[in-house]
Amino acid sequence: MTLLAIDDITKSFAGHKALDHVTLDIRQGEFISLLGPSGCGKTTLLRTVAGFMTADKGRILIDGEDVSRLPPERRPLNTVFQNYALFPHMTVLENVAYGPRRAGLARAEAERRAEEALEMVGLAAMSRRNPAAMSGGQQQRVALARAIVNRPKLLLLDEPLSALDLQLRKRMQIELKQLQVQLGITFIFVTHDQDEAMAMSDRIAVMSAGRLEQCDAPEAIYRRPRTRFVAEFIGEANFLPLDGAGPEGVLRPEDLRVLPEGEALPPGWRGLPARVTGVTYVGGTSNIYLAAGPRELLARSYGLPPAGMTAGRTVQAGFDPANLHPLGA
Amino acid sequence: MMYRVCRLSLAALLLGSGAAYADGSTLTVAYYGGNWGEAFDACVAQPFTEKTGIRVVAEIGNSTTTLAKLQQQSGDAVIDVAYMDGGISELAHEAGVLAPIDLAAIPNAATYLPQAVYKAGDEVFAVSAGYYSLGLIHNTSEVTETPDSWLALWDESYAGAVALPSPSNSSGVPFVLFLARSVLGDTSESLDQTFAKLKELDTGLLFDSSGAASNAFQSSEVIIGAHFNVGAWDLTDGGLPIGFSVPKEGVWATDARMHVVKGTKNPEGAAQYLDMAASPEAAACLAERLYLGPPVTGVTLTPDVERKLPWGEGGSVEKLHLSDWTEVNARRAAIVERWNREIAN
Amino acid sequence: MASARLTLFWLLALPVLVFTGFFLIPLGVVLVSSFTAPEDGLTLAHYARILLDAYHWQVIATTFRIAIFSTLICVALGYPLAWYLVRIVQLRSWRRACVILLVLPLFTSNIVRSFGWMVLLGRSGLVNDALMSLGLIDRPMRFLGTETGILIGMVYILLPFTVLTIGTALARVDRGLEQAARDLGATPARAFWSVTFPLTLHGVMAGAIIVFSMAISAYVTPALLSGGKVTVLAMLAFQQYSTVFDFHYGGALSITLLVLTLALIGLASRMTRGRTPGAGGH
């Protein structure tokens, strides 16, 4: 069942198209990431959904109701802001109780709800603190508690983890995903980090230059990228002609095998002569960089690179044509 | 040349720091700022320097400031001659900062009006530099008939548009006494009748400075009231419909006075300066510039300047009500206090 | 190291010297004269004369009334003006022009300004002419020589201080915070009162304290616009110094004004403390 329908949204700033006919349906309970490089329009799209911006054209529907003209306070959603936007003149508890208070709850009831939400993010003990006196990770959890305390149908998260260090970030990714499953709230998660998107999302919406390039499950995005942009933005990609010549397809590095010259290929595989230009070994995987005529290719395998695989050596690069995914399909 | 410049600037420096510098080639004179200071400079100081070769160093400040300076420098006089108004003059005398003036050393002193020489016992402590008065001023386009009595201020039709000096102006307190004695016939010690009458008066402005009064007359904020003869005639000269009159009760007046400072290192220079100031030329010059009533006889003036003098057309110093400043000073605090409570409220 | 310490010494010593020389010593002189009398040495008589007298309390009340109203009006007008400058004006040059327009009155002489007020507020001034020609009044209203007139003049001169302090505070408020409030269900008005306003309160207070201190001690504007008919404490003190020459009573008046002012400011900042975000809270 569709919770949020983004219907043909277009938005321009001073002649520059920030959003270009974006249409996207998001289902109830889904965790969807808006992924793309900075300036691709993902944050603009989020702010349009939240109501901080008005689209030039198109509609936003939540549960079938057109909210395009509603101010932010009347939309059934909440946001976790990139810099958290915690109120510096309020305690943690007051920050979290702000939403319930605005929803008309009495102070005591609002604070009880706030305590619950803080419990959920593991900060129950810190409710009397001033947010400025907390670490980045803790502030992040307060922002999260504040956004979920009213149990919105839809939670918007604007790069909420970008300010955290790598370790904390990985942990928060897991916690966030668990929380989402536990609460059953639909999450729209803006990020420019493809790994983060891959790890957490049910679906990923890849955006580029104001356009929605592709929206699919992570595996489908990876395996069957529809455009060259998606293929390159998500993971690494080799581009090879589908059959000898003509349109190109995408071959992921782990599907490309490097074989000694003259060795027989598995049945049905295609091979092409190549020269090794470099070899790296990182974190349990080996990367072999190849030049096949004018093309640059990358092959990835687990474990150490095969013995004698040094730069300058002539080899053959082989792959199963079934793994070569045609673009645009 | 270089040496002279150095010496001059050094002199300025020393004067500024309060040290004595006197070899007879300069005379330090304390007088007022603005157009009064300019007039004293042009009418007295410059001719004095031309005649004697003694350069005049001006020490600018109002009467009160000058008195404060004199009290501070007592013992090591920097100021030789000081201009101060009536009232402050008596205070300076009491403070013992003045030297007696030897009229014999001043040839022109013979022409002084008798009122122009201020004595304590046999000693002369001040001589007048010229009189000014607080006349009855009216806006000729709003007050068509020239009022001939101060009682015109109480006329219903001028309600809310009357100007009087406040006690924050040096004329304020003596003017109250003038109104009591010469206009309202209140000879009582208490001045109850005078204050009751003042309380009735619906004023538009109780001015603390002459400029404030000029502004108010100029903008028609007030249309009748007391104002200094020089301030009023400046407005008239500037083309405004302002008339100055000396009513039948006469006008309150005072004068700027010159004093020789106790401990002056240039008494001859000081005497020569006073002599120049008492010359008919200097008096005429001041009368033309400030409409200051000459304290000496034998001054010839144009009819136009004559009618703008403090005593008005055809008048003389006899028309002026000059205050008994010792009485004014003694009653000043009490009158100010009563004014504050009953009038400025 | 030694030279750095020397620099530090001078950095501290100079302001201390200037502060002592130009502020503490004169204040000390005034303080001493307020507690002494020419005949009988140390005395509280001058203070008794002021504090046990209904007239003086009436002047104090007038002084504080004018200062408090000036402060309230300056804040009430200054906030929207600051809002306009910081939040609404987009064009940098127009904002700069507005700020110059705002501080311009501070650079004109009091005499010029007071003449301007006469032209505007006088018996036959523009305001009265307009009101009369509109038939709203049939006799000129009196502005000059009233508390209203003084108040108008004070607000005109002191308004820039609140606009500037509030504007500075407003410019430092993260607009994301207002959006967060809206996102959590606050109407624009609610977001302003619960988030923006508390975060600018220190600017409001700073402006209010500046305006109040300047208004309570103001001499020239009240003296010019009162027309000698309204008396504030500073005028009373100045009068004692300039015309009555009673430095003891005048000193006591000045010290009374100073103490009452400090007491009120202390009270006001105590009342707002804890409601503003802690120092370095951002």
Sheet with A314-319: strands ordered across:
A257-260, A314-319, A270-282, A285-292, A295-302
> What tokens appear for A107 in the block?
């102070």
Domains within chain C, CATH numbers bracketed: 49-272 (1.10.3720.10)
Q: Compute the average pLDDT of residues A206-210.
A: 92
Predicted pLDDT at B4: 40
Q: Which residues of B touch C230 (CB under 8 A)?
A: 344
Of C142, C228, C235, the CB nearest to B160: C142
> What tokens appear for C145 in the block?
């020589």
Nearest-Cα residue of chain C relative to residue B335: C244
Nearest-Cα residue of chain A relative to residue C277: A89
Predicted pLDDT at A156: 96
Q: Hey, are the CB atoms on B215 and C115 less than 8 Å from each other?
A: yes
Predicted pLDDT at B23: 62
Rounded to 5°, angle at Cα A49 from A48 and A54: 30
Q: Hey, are the CB atoms on C123 and B215 less than 8 Å from each other?
A: no
Q: Which residues of C touch B216 (CB under 8 A)?
A: 118, 227
Task: Give partners of B (≥3 CB pairs < 8 A).
Answer: C
Among candidates C268, C251, C279, C274, which has minimal Cα distance to C210? C268
Cα atoms in the Cβ-side hemisphere of radius 13 Å centred on A209: 3
Q: Hey, which residues 84-123 in chain C have their CB within 8 Å of chain A? A: none
Q: Where are the domains of chain A?
A: 2-230, 253-326
Q: Which residues of C touch A50 (CB under 8 A)?
A: 183
Of C55, C114, C245, the CB nearest to B341: C55
Q: Hey, are the CB atoms on C276 and A89 less than 8 Å from each other?
A: yes
Q: Which pTM does this prediction carry?
A: 0.81
Place of tokens 């009582």: B188
Predicted pLDDT at B17: 40
Q: Hey, are the CB atoms on B168 and C55 less than 8 Å from each other?
A: no
Query: Is residue A214 within 8 Å of A319, Cβ to Cβ?
Result: no
Judge B/C contact: 3 or more CB pairs < 8 A: yes
Q: Which residues of C touch B214 (CB under 8 A)?
A: none
Residue ranges of chain B that CATH labels 3.40.190.10: 2-131+254-311, 132-253+322-342
Nearest-Cα residue of chain A relative to residue C197: A89
Spell out where chain A has E strands: 2-13, 16-27, 31-35, 57-62, 65-66, 77-80, 154-158, 186-191, 203-208, 211-216, 238-243, 245-251, 257-260, 270-282, 285-292, 295-302, 314-319, 325-326
Q: Which residues of A touch C185 (CB under 8 A)?
A: 73, 99, 102-103, 150
CA distance A153 to A187: 9
What is the CATH topology of the domain spanning A2-230? Answer: Rossmann fold (3.40.50)
How many A×C Cβ pairs under 8 Å?
68
Mutate to test the interface with C, among A102, A148, A154, A156 (most CBs of C within 10 A): A102
Task: Give partners of A (≥3 CB pairs < 8 A).
Answer: C
Q: Hey, are the CB atoms on A146 and C174 less than 8 Å from each other?
A: no
CA distance A252 to A265: 18
* Nearest CA-CA distance, residue B48 and chain C, Å: 32
- Which amino acid is present at C128? N
The number of residues making up chain A comes to 329
* Nearest CA-CA distance, residue C214 and chain A, Å: 30
> Does residue B65 belong to the interface with chain C, where contact is any CB pair within 8 Å?
no
* Nearest CA-CA distance, residue B332 and chain C, Å: 7
**Bridge partner residues of B120 (DSSP):** B123
Q: What ipTM does this complex have? A: 0.84
Ranges of residues in chain C whose predicted pLDDT is under 70: 1-2, 110-111, 114, 273-282
Q: Which residues of C touch B340 (CB under 8 A)?
A: 55, 231, 236, 239
Predicted pLDDT at A61: 94
Helix (H) or strand (E) holding A298: strand A295-302
Tens-level pLDDT at each residue, chain B (345 residues)? 344 434 444 344 444 444 344 467 899 999 998 889 999 999 999 999 999 999 999 999 989 889 989 988 867 788 999 999 999 999 999 999 999 999 999 999 999 999 999 999 899 999 999 999 999 999 999 998 999 999 999 999 998 899 999 998 889 999 999 999 999 999 888 899 999 999 999 998 999 888 889 988 988 889 999 999 999 999 999 999 999 999 999 999 999 999 999 999 899 999 999 999 999 999 999 999 999 999 999 999 999 999 999 998 888 888 899 999 999 999 999 999 999 999 987
Interface of C with B (CB under 8 A): 55, 58, 111, 114-115, 118-119, 122-125, 142, 144-145, 223-224, 227-231, 235-236, 238-239, 242-246
Q: Which residues of A touch C179 (CB under 8 A)?
A: 52, 72, 81, 85
Query: Is residue C170 within 8 Å of C204, Cβ to Cβ?
Result: no
What is the CATH topology of the domain spanning B2-131+254-311? Answer: D-Maltodextrin-Binding Protein; domain 2 (3.40.190)
User: May I ask the CATH class of domain A253-326?
Assistant: mainly beta
Phi/psi-derived region of residue C152, left when phi > 0, alpha when psi is between -120 and 50, beta in every other case = alpha
Q: Hey, are the CB atoms on A88 and C277 less than 8 Å from each other?
A: yes
Query: Is residue B227 within 8 Å of B210, Cβ to Cβ?
Result: yes
User: May I ask the CATH class of domain B132-253+322-342?
Assistant: alpha beta
Of A78, A83, A130, the CB nearest to C183: A78
Spell out where chain C has E strands: 36-37, 41-42
Cα atoms in the Cβ-side hemisphere of radius 13 Å centred on A252: 17
Predicted pLDDT at B8: 40
pLDDT in tens, A131-175: 999 998 899 999 999 999 999 999 999 998 888 888 888 988 998
Sheet with A238-243: strands ordered across:
A238-243, A245-251, A325-326
